[in-house]
Structure formats: C-alpha cells, structure tokens
Amino acid sequence: MTSIVQVEPGQWVLAYKPEFGPHPVHRTLHQALENLQYGGSGYDCLRESWQQFDIVQADRVMPKTVLTSDGVRIHRDLIVAAAGSAGEVEALRETLFGIGHAADRAIEEETQRLIAAFERKTRADALARVHASLPHIFGRQP
C-alpha cells in the first residue's frame, strides 16, 4: 500500500497541516492517520478539523510536491485524499476528524457509567471526612 495519493491538476486535495501530519523522523502517513482514532489525533489543541487539515486545489503536481492554486507548495506525503470537488474532501475531512471525537465520547460515557456507583460512595465518604474534620462548623456527626 502506497502513502502517496494520486493527484491530478485541478483536483481538490485534503492535506495535513505540516505541524500535525506525518513527520519524516517520527512517523509515517499511516501512523498519523491511525492517530485519528483519538479526538484531535491526540493533540489537545485541535478542536476543529480545519486546524489539522487544509483543503486546497492542485495547480501543478510534481513527484514530491504539489503547487496549489494559491501558490503554496505542499509535500505529497502530507496529502490524504484528492477529489473532483471541494465538497467531497470537506466531507471526508469532517468524517475523519469526527471519528476520534466520537470514540472519545463513547469511552467517556461508558467510563462514567461504570464508575458512577464508586464515585457516589467515594464522594460521600470524602464529604463525611470533611464534616468530621470541622465539627465546629458542621457539628458532631453521629
């Protein structure tokens, strides 16, 4: 399986912003994409898909880079997908970015459900200790 996405001039491209995509020393495109299983790809600072991915139109395609219609050069290893319309890659961007957030939300909900009884008991015990530590404010406990 290749990491380089086929791009034709005129196509719309979904590409990682360089600071959040694959880094040559640390990880590959495959590894960066697998991080989408986490909300924000594991970055706490990412709240919106546009913060992680750019959508641009390819003007000129070269072996290692793509020149966009805005005159920006993007390394091909940052490109995730290419399509005929901006809407297609925008929908993909939202889908990919939402996967990790949905997983995080489901995990958090299940975690809360599993620990709800333990949390209630622990909080009640802690509150009793606060009251017992300050009898001059809360009175004597039975």
d(CA 54, CA 68) in angstroms, rounded, equals 11
Q: What is the mean pLDDT of residues 73-89?
A: 96
User: For the whole model, what pTM was predicted?
Assistant: 0.80
Q: Measure the CA–CA gap between 85 and 141, rounded to whole angstroms.
A: 70
Which tens digit of pLDDT belongs to each residue from 11-36? 999 999 998 888 766 678 888 999 99
Nearest residue to 7 via CA among 91, 65, 46, 93: 65
Average pLDDT score, the chain: 92
pLDDT at position 140, please? 76
pLDDT at 98: 95
Report the C-alpha gap between 95 and 39 in whole angstroms.
Answer: 12
Give me the percent of the chain exceeding a pLDDT of 70: 94
